[in-house]
Structure 1
């Protein structure tokens, strides 16, 4: 038999999932829950803490408990017509301005360092030390002063050294036409890619960095892009799961059809 506080927490989670308590709505008071379940205040508080730990409610001293409200931004994880690079910052700004009503900002940093074993294997870098260096373009995106998303793109250093166009990879500035277009101009058109998307609980450092509350995992989106059979870019994107969702699609889509997906909030169902 489950402990009493878990039974109460499960009942309330089902009520939330079935829409009896909408996002932002208050939950019954401690006194009311004690009356409904015939239990102690300590048991009720343990139940509410369980819901907090699972990211389902917010508790404010003196204001009671409310259902946590999620407003994630949908990212197109498939390439769309007219959007050659689905992570272009201009498109991101448009989405955030429309969906959140807040102007985001970003900080770009370029790092050159020896690749770790995983990145070196993915980019098929040579065994010699000088062949294992990569250019990392780190893009941190902020909303209302809070880190919203971190994207790390790894390129073999020889690409940045191979042409004048390649040197753009070394500049900590937004590449307006997108790095996919830049790579094509350098002679490395993207011909294929794969994606792996997963979730993990954040480390203490990640929780502090992103300002992540209890019970919220990090979405990790890895993508390896090829030009022919040659891997040319590995991108890792870190996104708190309460603020982001990914949309994949197949075939030709009209803007209206895409909007139906981008307007969907998975937390409302």
Structure 2
């Protein structure tokens, strides 16, 4: 048999999911919950703490417990018609403005360092050789002062050095186009997407509340069998949904998917 505070938390969670306690609304006060469940204040507080740790409510002293409202914006993660990550961000930013979720902007930094570990393996580089270096483009995408997404791309030195990939500025025509112009036309890629709970540093960096995981999207791109780029994107799960689409998909069909909210019940 479950502990009493777990039973209460599960009952309140059912009320959240069936709409009895809608997003943005408040749960009953601690006193009301004590009466309703015929239990102690400590048990009620443990139940509310459990819901907060699940990311379903925000509890503040003096203002009660509010049901957390999630309004993620859908991010097209697949390469429809060869669109690059930075091109798809432009579409995502436009949707943010359309939904009045904030004013997005991005900052870019470029670095150069020896490839080690996983990066060296994925880009088929030997760290002991002089050519075992990578150009790193780090892009922080910010909305109303809050870090929304961090994307880090790694390019082999012999491909990127001396090109516009070394400049810390947005490339309007997209990095896939730049690589093709350099003789490395992307012919394929693979993606791995996973979720992990954030470290305290991650939580502070992205402004994450309790119970919110961090999505990590990794992509390796190839020209034939030659690895030409590896990208890691860090995405707070309460603000993003990843949309994958294949084949001939019209903009209207993509828009219908963009209106889906996985937090709706």
Task: Report how far residue 156 of structure 1 moved.
Answer: 0.4
Structure 1 116/100 Cα, relative in aligned 2: closer, same or farther at 3 Å? farther
Pairs within 5 Å for 1:1-269: 1-81=1-81, 84-88=83-87, 89-161=89-161, 167-269=163-265
Q: Which whole-Å deviations, capped at 9, do the CAs of 1:42-81 have from their partners, x for residues lacking one?
A: 1101110111111000112222111101111111011234
Task: Report how far residue 91 of structure 1 moved.
Answer: 2.1
Q: Which whole-Å deviations, capped at 9, do the CAs of 1:137-194 have from their partners, x for residues lacking one?
A: 0000111101110000000011123xxxx51010000000110111011111110000
Structure 1 stretches of at least 4 aligned residues deviating more than 4 Å after TM superposition: none
Q: Is the 8 A contact 2:86 2:175 kept in 1?
A: no
Q: Is the 8 A contact 2:219 2:231 kept in 1?
A: yes
Q: Which range moves more in the overlay, 50-59 or 83-92?
A: 83-92
Q: Is the 8 A contact 1:84 1:181 kept in 2?
A: no
Q: Which whole-Å deviations, capped at 9, do the CAs of 1:99-145 have from their partners, x for residues lacking one?
A: 34421111100011112210100011135342221011000011110
Task: Report how far residue 13 of structure 1 moved.
Answer: 1.1
Task: Report how far residue 86 of structure 1 moved.
Answer: 4.1
Task: Report how far residue 92 of structure 1 moved.
Answer: 3.0
Q: Taking structure 2 as the reference length, what is the TM-score of the superposition?
A: 0.96
Query: Hey, what's the Cα distance between the residues in 1 that align with 2:36 and 2:111?
Result: 58
Query: Hey, what's the Cα distance between the residues in 2 that align with 1:239 and 1:101?
Result: 16
Q: Taking structure 1 as the reference length, what is the TM-score of the superposition?
A: 0.94
Query: Hey, what's the Cα distance between the residues in 2 that align with 1:63 and 1:98?
Result: 31
Task: Report how far residue 254 of structure 1 moved.
Answer: 1.2
Q: Which runs of 5+ in 1 are unaligned?
A: none
Q: Calculate the aligned-residue CA RMSD, in Å.
A: 1.4
Q: Which whole-Å deviations, capped at 9, do the CAs of 1:82-104 have from their partners, x for residues lacking one?
A: x6224324323212211344211
Query: Hey, what's the Cα distance between the residues in 2 that align with 1:6 and 1:86?
Result: 42
Query: Hey, what's the Cα distance between the residues in 1 that align with 2:160 and 2:246?
Result: 33
Aligned length: 264
Q: Is the 8 A contact 1:54 1:214 kept in 2?
A: yes
Q: Which range moves more in the overlay, 135-144 or 59-68?
A: 59-68
